[in-house]
Amino acid sequence: MNNYGANSPLSYNEYLKVPELIRLQNALSEPVSHDELLFIVIHQTYELWFKQILHEIDASINWLKESRTFRANHSLKTVAAIGKVVVSQIHILETMAQIGFLEFRDKLNPASGFQSTQFREIEFVSGAKDERMMNHFAGDEFAFERLKKRFDAPSLADEFWNLLNRKGFSTETNEDRVKTIVEILTYPEKHADFFIMQDLLIEHDENISLWRYNHVLMVERMLGMKRGTGGSEGAGYLRTTLSKKFFPELWEARTHL
């Protein structure tokens, strides 16, 4: 064991780029606020999880196009599992001291979590496309190109309904889609793959809603009703996002079951 890893052509640190990774947390406060490192680490971790969520959703879309429901459900299960982790991470941010957060918060202007390109990509690729949101990123070439690509491509919701249509279900109108989901919920053993799929999709929707809700409470707990960085309304704006749904027909179907 003394020579474990010696002269290895590839090490753990090399493979994961650990030296580069731990150099990416650069505090802006002077003197450095104790809580700023935690703030940066959590948000960088979010972005890594967002990257993986997008990877799994893109895979799911391709599986759906090929009518490979087992593979799509496998990737969607990963999306749902990551969603739970993302929600739980918010509570780590709540361990910051309020005064500690305020020590470096002003340094963040005009940056804002509102500007997270990957989170907006998750919204778009899941089914909640908003052309007005793209206008906010018009001056950011990197973000705008990515969002434009997502906006123009079929979403996860689109491909879900397309697959059900190919399998003989009616999905033309909102009413048709609700009836189709009621049928699947009523006879889960008859439509096992689709029952699992709609359950994973609504779990993804729920996780994002929980993330939004917990984010609002975290912001209020830290800042009260202060305006957000980047000129946003802070908790007031965040509360307006709580009713967003990627798959509204899945939720409505529960009422009609």
- In angstroms, the CA 172 to CA 255 distance is 20
- The answer to whether the beta carbons of residues 35 and 100 sit under 8 Å apart is yes
pLDDT over 60 (residue 232): no
- In angstroms, the CA 229 to CA 222 distance is 13
Query: Once rounded to an integer, what is the mean pLDDT over residues 187-208?
Result: 97
* 113 — pLDDT class (breaks 50, 70, 90): low
Give the chain's mean pLDDT.
90
In 26-185, DSSP assigns E strands to none
- The answer to whether the beta carbons of residues 238 and 113 sit under 8 Å apart is no
Q: In this structure, what token pair is assigned to residue 197? A: 């799929």
Which has the closest alpha carbon to 102: 239, 213, 229, 215? 229
- The answer to whether the beta carbons of residues 57 and 125 sit under 8 Å apart is yes
pLDDT over 70, % of the chain: 88
- The answer to whether the beta carbons of residues 204 and 79 sit under 8 Å apart is yes
User: What does the pLDDT read at residue 110?
Assistant: 61
Q: In this structure, what token pair is assigned to residue 131? A: 């052309």
- Alpha-helical segments (H) within 129-191: 131-135, 141-152, 156-166, 174-186
pLDDT tens readout for residues 15-65:
999 999 999 999 998 888 999 999 999 999 999 999 999 999 999 999 999
pTM of the model: 0.89
pLDDT over 80 (residue 129): yes
pLDDT tens readout for residues 136-177:
888 899 999 999 999 999 999 999 999 999 999 999 999 999
Domain 30-61+69-256, classified CATH 3.40.50.2020, yes or no: no
Which has the closest alpha carbon to 184: 166, 198, 205? 198
Amino acid making up residue 227: R
- The answer to whether the beta carbons of residues 145 and 121 sit under 8 Å apart is no
Which residue shows structure tokens 């001291």?
A: 97
**Domain boundary assignment for the chain:** 30-61+69-256
* 99 — pLDDT class (breaks 50, 70, 90): confident
